[in-house]
A and B are shown apart, each in its own frame.
Chain A
Amino acid sequence: MKDDVLISVKNLKKYFPVRRGILKEKKYIKAVDGVCIDIHKGETFGLVGESGCGKSTLGKCIIRMYDITSGEIYFKNKEIGKLKSSEIKSSRNNSMQIVFQDPYSALDPSWTVAKILSEPLIQKGASNKECMERGKYLLNKVGMTEMDMERRPYEFSGGQRQRIGIARALMSNPEFVVCDEPISALDVSVQAQVINLLKDLQEEFGLTYLFASHDLSIVRYMSDWIGVMYSGKIVESGYSDKVYKNPLHPYTKILLDAIPSIYSEKRKKDITISPENLDNFSNVYEGCPFAYSCEYAKEHCKEGKPLLQEVQSGHFVACFHY
C-alpha cells in the first residue's frame, strides 16, 4: 500500500435486510456491493450517482456510522471495518467527520451554535474553554462571527447553517471529512460560496474529502478522482478530467448528457433508463447491473458481471465493451 493512501476500501459490502410477504423470506438490498477505492491524503474523491445508488451508504460505512456486511476498510493502514462501535467512536471523533446534505435537519433546533460546536469536543473530554475558543476560531474560518455563538439554528439561512455544519465537522480537527451532498439543499447563489469555502478549508487544514453528489459538474470541480456509482457498484473511476472529458461507461455518458447546460444549443436526447427496470432488487440479477437500461447491451452483458479494469492509465471502467 502506498504511503499517501489515507483510506483504502477493499471489497466493501453493505446489505440491508428487508422482509417481504407472509413467509418472511429474507431478502437484501445490496446498497454497497463490492466496492474498492483508495483515497489519497489531501485529495478529494468525488462520488457521483443518482439517488439510491449507494453513495451515501458508502460514505457512512467508511466513517463507520453503519456496520458493514463484509469487506475491509483501512484508515492510515489500520483496519477499522471490524472495530466495535465503542472503539470506533474514539477514532471517528479524532479523525473522521461528516457534513450532511440537509442543513435544516442536521442541526438540533433547540441548541445554541456554541453547544452544537462543542459537542464533538466534549465527547473527546475537552474543557468548556477550549471548546469555546476553537468554536470561535472555526466560526471565523467559515465566514461567520463570534456573535453567532449564542444564536440558534432557526435564526440562520440555509447557507449559514451549512457553514455551521462544516464548522462542527472541523471542531475535532479531523483528517477526513465525508461531504454528503453538501450543497444540493442550498440556493444557487450560495452554492458557489460553500464550494469555495470547502476548497479553502481543504488547503488550509490539509483535509481529505469524500464528496458525494449527483451533479457531475460540481464533482468534477471539487475532485481529483471521480468514482461513478450505479446500483451499489463503482462502474467507472479515474482522474476527474479523464472521466469528465472522455466518459467510457454508457451510464456515465448518460449522466453527463443529462446535466442541463446553460449555453448548449442542442436539445437533449431522450434517456432510455426506464424506472421500471430499476426497482430496489435490480442488483439481484446476474450480470451487469446496467444491462437492462443500456442501449449497447448484448446477450453476454446479462450473464457475467463486468469487473473494474484499467483501460487507460488512471481510468477504470466496468463494462464488457472495453
Chain B
Amino acid sequence: MSSIPTEVTLTAVKTPAAGMELLGKLTAVTQPNAVFSPPIQQGEYTVITASEVAMGYGYGFGGGGGVGPAPAPEGKEPTEAGGGGMGGGGGGSAMARPVAAVIIGPKGVRVEPIVDPTKISLAFFTAFAGIVLGIGRLLRQK
C-alpha cells in the first residue's frame, strides 16, 4: 500500500515523433480499466480492486545550428562550414493507491473501503502539531 516508486524504466527514443508516440500511450491511464483490476475469483466470491491512479510527465526537445569559417590550410581562402545538433529528454512518474474492493458474493455486491493507516497517521500528527503550535502562540501572547 505504498505510493513510493519502486521501479524506474528507461526508454531511448531517437526522434521527437517516437517520443510523442510513447507519451501518447500514457493516455491509457485515463481509461476505467486502469483503475479497476481484473476480477479475482476465490470460491464463491469475486473481488475487483478499485485504485486511484495519478501520473505526470514532461519532455523537451531542442536543437540548433550555425555556419562559420572552417579552418583552412595556410595560404588558402577559408571556407564556410555548417554544424548543428539536437537533444532532448523527458521523464514521468505514476502512482496508484487502492481505494476500495468490490466484493461480489452469493449475498450480493458490497463495496469495502481500503484505508491507508500511514497516510491517516501522518495527517493526524500534522494536524495535531498545527493545533499545538496555534495554542502555543495564543498562550505566549497573553
Q: Do A and B bind each other?
A: no
